[in-house]
Amino acid sequence: MDIRIKIGLRIKELRKNLSLTQEALAFKADLDKTYVNEVENGKRNISVVNLEKVILALETDIKDFFQATQFSSTN
Amino acid sequence: MDIRIKIGLRIKELRKNLSLTQEALAFKADLDKTYVNEVENGKRNISVVNLEKVILALETDIKDFFQATQFSSTN
């Protein structure tokens, strides 16, 4: 699976855990809501600086963000 | 610490574990050697697609790449 898709799915999962809308997440992360929508749908090749903003807005850290099975080479 | 610095240090650590030069890593990852040098020195805001290329060239996966203490929020 494309890394952009994997990251988008992980963001969506964590966002829903917090009961946030895409718009609320975008506001928390200080990013455009269209951009967040495109990242979540795997359409954007996000940079690490913006990804960190999203991860912090999702109230987690980079280490935990990537602790999902889809980021392991066996998946 | 800036995410770009953290990622650069992690790349350098894993590259040295494999006894690769920056040039050899760049070749394996199909990236420019100047670009790899700048990423390793924390001067580039790398995208996730290029970061995945580097991580694969380092013979690891994304999950393990981010399993370093500097990617935890307590660091």
DSSP secondary structure string, A31-49? S-HHHHHHHHTT----BHH
Q: Does A4 touch chain B (CB under 8 A)?
A: yes
pLDDT of residue A74: 63
Assign B8 a pLDDT band (cuts: 50, 70, 90).
very high
Q: Does A63 touch chain B (CB under 8 A)?
A: yes
pLDDT of residue B73: 80
Q: Flag whether pLDDT at B75 surpasses 60.
A: no
pLDDT of residue A39: 98
Chain centre distance of CA B7: 5
Interface with A, mutate which of B47, B49, B55, B70 (most A CBs under 10 A): B47
- Under-50 pLDDT residues of chain A: none
ipTM of the complex: 0.92
pLDDT of residue A73: 80
| Nearest residue to A63 via CA among B1, B71, B14 | B71
Find the range with the poorest average confidence among A38-42, A54-58, B31-35, B70-74: B70-74
Q: Report whether A29 contacts B32 (CB < 8 A).
A: no
pLDDT of residue B62: 96
Domains and CATH numbers, chain A: 3-67 (1.10.260.40)
Q: Flag whether pLDDT at B61 surpasses 70.
A: yes
Nearest CA in chain B to A46: B47
